[in-house]
A and B are shown apart, each in its own frame.
Chain A
Amino acid sequence: MCGICGCSNPTGKFSPISSKADLLTMPHHAPEQHSPAEKARLIEVEDDLLGKNNAYAAENRAYFEKNNIFVLNLVSSPGAGKTTLLVETIKALKDKFPIAVIEGDQQTEHDADRIRATGIRALQINTGRMCHLDAHGIGHAVQSLGIEKNSFLAIENVGNLVCPSSFDLGEAHKVVVLSVTEGEDKPLKYPDMFHAADLMILNKIDLLPYVDFDVERCEEFARRVNPKIQILKLSATKSDNFSSWTDWLTSKIKP
């Protein structure tokens, strides 16, 4: 590429002008002869479309690490049981370490109200038309919540198995919640989310006798998309194997 005017031919042999005869006779690089179209130049860049979000996420992560705040980003399709899982988690662990919650939904304060009923501070972000939380919004939410040092922060993302997978919030881990009332092939249908998550919680296992859900196939699908994913199987409402989750969480949090 030409370094003077940015046209694509540094030798001048093939400058973008009208005829082949012109090409041979016209001197190259007389700026006054360039039409507006000829002034166009090519620039090579390398900009990640998520670069801005990733920079905010890195700031959040540095803040969390500095203040020893363990942060999880909970994702799932609507109705998989994220809020119930959180309510039960808070009841089980709130005496062990401080807990705060950021709730993301397109509309309403319903989920934050359910969390507040446990006596824990919760902030609701209504994303409006947006289908995911982003790191910039989380930065502001963290400031207004005033989260204590040495604590656990749960971010419940918008119920959506697609968009939140791309947006790092600065969390330690993404946790994907899947319930047995959904299809066992969700990991293959929405592979981005299961690829992005470090832990999958298979929820509502108390309903397994009543639904046609092959747990082994589901686990295989999840591991095919993400060979490193950890999997816990539990019921948040009936407490089945719930301690596997509270043990996992407790092992990660060092007050």
Chain B
Amino acid sequence: MHELSLLENVRTILEEHAKNQNFERVEEVTLAIGALSCVEVEALKFAFQSVMKNSLAENATLHFKTIEGQGRCQHCEKLTRMEMLYDVCQHCGHSRVDVISGLEMKITELKVS
């Protein structure tokens, strides 16, 4: 349940932005989560309200964007879409694919007041 630690990080980041960018409340938070990242969106949703309780983001709405997984095939060297870390190349079927994107977990947008 490392989603709890991640959400505690979200809360700390929000508090720092509030200080630097002069706002008191966070109404909406958008997270961009890579399709290949080690995080469960449902678990983040589940724990979000309890972690944000008594913080500047109490009752904030949580939105998600997905960052697509993409890799480069070691065999045909083409870019290939990945939904799992063990996906084979969609062009030639080779099983050695290096991940290029889709491991990200970040906050991208806040609605604040």
Contact = CB atoms under 8 A, between A and B. Distances in A.
Contact of A227 (B13, B17, B98): B98
Given A47-B13, A162-B38, A191-B85, A42 B6 contact: no
A121 interface: no
Nearest to A228: B98
Interface residues of A, number: 38
Interface string A186-226: 01100110010000000000000000000000001101111
A165 interface: yes
Interface residues of B, number: 35
A36 B113 contact: yes
Interface of B: 1-2, 5-6, 9-10, 12-13, 17, 21, 23, 27, 31, 38-39, 74, 84-86, 88, 95-99, 104-113
A162 B38 CA distance: 8
A103 interface: no
Secondary structure type dominating chain B contacts? mixed
Interface in A163-197: 163, 165-167, 187-188, 191-192, 195
Interface of A: 36-37, 39-53, 130-132, 134, 162-163, 165-167, 187-188, 191-192, 195, 220-221, 223-227
Given A43-B21, A224-B88, A227-B96, A50 B12 contact: no
B9 A51 contact: yes
A42 B30 CA distance: 11
A132 B21 CA distance: 33
Given A40-B111, A40-B112, A225-B85, A48 B2 contact: no
A40 B21 contact: no
A52 B6 CA distance: 10
Contact of A41 (B5, B106, B111): B111
B86 A191 contact: yes
Contact of B84 (A37, A46, A191, A223): A191
